[in-house]
Chain A
Amino acid sequence: MIAAAALCPGPPLLARELTGQAEILPDLRHACMVAVARLVAAAPDVIAVVGPADLTATWDPAGALDLTAYAPALGRPAAPGAARTTSDGERSALPLALGIGAALLDKAGWDGPRALWSVGGSAPQAECARIGGDLEAPAERIALLVMGDGSARRSVSAPGYLDERAEPFDAEVERAVRDGDLDALAALDPALAADLMVSGRPAWQVLAAALGGTGLRADVLYSDAPFGVGYLVAVFKMRDS
């Protein structure tokens, strides 16, 4: 059964090492930590991280984000003869969304069992629903950390430039999450989401299936697009917690 569920975005900038000397968006980082802390507080048997990637797959629970793919210098010795600056050199590389999710669990101090699932960025809703059903089935108490971003076309300076449909799309996702309107999440159009560079769509549809018709509502802790990409942080209020 699902004991708790939270949504977080997975931009590289959430990895503190990647933003250089400056901490970017401390409010967003804080909201994510609050969300993950609530998952931990539900005392689940396992925390499952679900996030978009190129392919649907399960990943090494001990894996981590490969920071050097984004910042080659972080893999260089700090001084001649020094050890690598990253402490994660032995951990296998995860796709971005799962890597950020794993880092959030690390930071929250979660050392219990974890499971990492990626869902293909172009996976149709039916495939997402099947994965969600698989997650829901076990008798264990599972906490879900669902990673994914809204549109990357929220402004003219956004990575994908401005698309007028982006803001209404993200607003509808936020409303559906807030109201627990899982049918609305399940009905999101994959083609439109892809047009709008919305990475979260498949993971949200996994969530919709996993939570079934529970009618649970969510607290929205953060919803904004400060750099033209929609970031949504939310925690579902479970009846037994």
Chain B
Amino acid sequence: MWQTSKADKLLIVDEDAVAGSDASAARTPGPLRLRGREFPPARALVMAIVNRTPDSFYQPGLTWDSDAAMDRVHAVVSDGADILDVGGVPAKPGPEVTVAEEIRRVVPFIERVRAAYPDLVISVDTWRHEPARAMCAAGADLINDTWAGWDGQLADVAAEFGAGIVCSHTGTLTPRTRPHRAAFDDVLADVLGRVLPLAERALKAGVEADRIVIDPAHDFGKNTWHSLEITRRLGELTATGWPVLVSASRKDFVGETLEAGVEDRLVGTLAVTAVGAWLGARVFRAHDVRETRQALDMVASIRGDRPPARALRALA
């Protein structure tokens, strides 16, 4: 039986271990550098989801076929995606996907995308170092480690290839398991107590600081109340100076909050996106790229970071 609070209290000791280190002191936000491109802090990025799976939770099997997946890449690039996030294993429990199968699903596809888009930033959603190495060799630029450093060698792979890494929070979950009665004294403290040491570990492994991203991981190891709390308090994460990734697209906490099925969660997702952008998050993992881009542009203009596309009203 998984009793979160006790385990969390034990592990949160890590926070003290890194006190005063590079990772725990607030950093001055700088550009994110991936594939030789530089993304300044004021420019929020859209990370488009492309699942190479038959059984992901939203539109399962949509891009299982390689040609369909390529069509999706063309579409999301045209819609304004800054980063692709390619995954070969669904987060939910289900039939085992072996390392070899994950490589088979993802690596040839990355090669195909890389050939078509030499400058596009490609992220890979994986938690095991063997597939990650093959994916980086095929041209991936960012390892999106959704399972919170379960495999300690992922950071070594990122360093080896000059790639970036996403340091996420899943409580104490094993990959591909569901949270059961998750409880925290303070969910935000728990997130900080885990992702900052992971960022530190990545730095020590040799990943460059401007390629490290942190992610509170909505829904992972959390109930709906917890995901709402990390959304409300996202400013405490962005205050660390590390670029923050928000991955909330059509997730269960949106569905439970609005009593909406996966097909009906876009508006709720965009609300999370707008709040996250306002609080300074910099990367938004999304199914709906055009809508997300539009919401982010609107928030950027409200913040004063982006002039309106065409301002004419009452100016003639």
B5 and A69 contact, CB distance less than 8 A: yes
B232 partner residues in chain A, CB cutoff 8 A: 73
**In the docked arrangement, what's the CA distance between A220 and B161, Å?**
61
In the complex, whether B6 has a CB less than 8 A from a CB of chain A is yes
Within the complex, which residue of B94, B178, B181 is in contact with A12, where a contact is CB–CB below 8 Å?
Answer: B181
B21 smallest CB distance to A (angstroms): 27
B184 partner residues in chain A, CB cutoff 8 A: 69, 72
Within the complex, which residue of A52, A71, A152 is in contact with B180, where a contact is CB–CB below 8 Å?
Answer: A152
A72 and B225 contact, CB distance less than 8 A: yes
Within the complex, which residue of A52, A73, A158, A160 is in contact with B225, where a contact is CB–CB below 8 Å?
Answer: A73
Among A53, A54, A159, max chain B CB count under 10 A is at: A159
With contact pairs A54-B3, A54-B6, A121-B1 given, residues A73 and B181 touching in the complex (Cβ less than 8 Å)? no
B6 and A11 contact, CB distance less than 8 A: no
A197 partner residues in chain B, CB cutoff 8 A: 1-2, 180
Within the complex, which residue of A53, A96, A194 is in contact with B183, where a contact is CB–CB below 8 Å?
Answer: A96
B285 smallest CB distance to A (angstroms): 23
A159 and B180 contact, CB distance less than 8 A: yes
B229 smallest CB distance to A (angstroms): 4
B54 smallest CB distance to A (angstroms): 15
* Nearest neighbor of B186 in chain A, beta-carbon distance: A72
**In the docked arrangement, what's the CA distance between A54 and B179, Å?**
17
Please give the number of chain A residues whose Cβ is less than 8 angstroms from any Cβ of chain B in the complex: 26
**In the docked arrangement, what's the CA distance between A166 and B2, Å?**
17
With contact pairs A52-B1, A54-B3, A96-B183 given, residues A160 and B177 touching in the complex (Cβ less than 8 Å)? yes
* Nearest neighbor of A201 in chain B, beta-carbon distance: B1
A113 smallest CB distance to B (angstroms): 28
**In the docked arrangement, what's the CA distance between A69 and B226, Å?**
9
Among A12, A53, A69, A96, max chain B CB count under 10 A is at: A69
In the complex, whether A80 has a CB less than 8 A from a CB of chain B is no
B5 and A161 contact, CB distance less than 8 A: no
A-B contact count (CB 8 A): 60
* Nearest neighbor of B183 in chain A, beta-carbon distance: A69
**In the docked arrangement, what's the CA distance between A158 and B93, Å?**
10
**In the docked arrangement, what's the CA distance between A199 and B259, Å?**
29
**In the docked arrangement, what's the CA distance between A33 and B296, Å?**
49
B1 and A11 contact, CB distance less than 8 A: no
In the complex, whether B256 has a CB less than 8 A from a CB of chain A is yes
In the complex, whether A26 has a CB less than 8 A from a CB of chain B is no
A160 and B5 contact, CB distance less than 8 A: no
What 1/0 mask marks residues of chain B from 1 to 19 whose CB sits below 8 Å from any chain A CB?
1110110000000000000
What 1/0 mask marks residues of chain B from 148 to 187 whose CB sits below 8 Å from any chain A CB?
0000000000000000000000000000011111111111
B257 partner residues in chain A, CB cutoff 8 A: 20
B189 smallest CB distance to A (angstroms): 11
Among A72, A74, A96, A199, max chain B CB count under 10 A is at: A72
B97 smallest CB distance to A (angstroms): 14
What 1/0 mask marks residues of chain A from 14 to 51 whose CB sits below 8 Å from any chain B CB?
00001010100000000000000000000000000000
A204 smallest CB distance to B (angstroms): 14
| CB-based closest 5 A-B pairs | A159-B180, A71-B225, A69-B183, A161-B93, A72-B229
Listed by A's residue number, 24 A-B pairs whose Cβ atoms lie within 8 Å are A12-B183, A20-B224, A20-B256, A52-B1, A54-B3, A69-B183, A70-B183, A72-B187, A73-B228, A73-B232, A74-B225, A95-B3, A96-B183, A121-B1, A158-B178, A159-B179, A160-B178, A160-B180, A161-B94, A161-B177, A161-B178, A194-B1, A197-B2, A199-B1
Inter-chain pairs besides A52-B1, A121-B1, A160-B180, 18 sampled, C-beta below 8 Å:
A11-B181, A12-B183, A53-B3, A54-B6, A70-B183, A71-B225, A72-B187, A72-B229, A73-B225, A73-B229, A74-B225, A95-B3, A159-B179, A161-B93, A161-B178, A197-B1, A197-B180, A199-B1
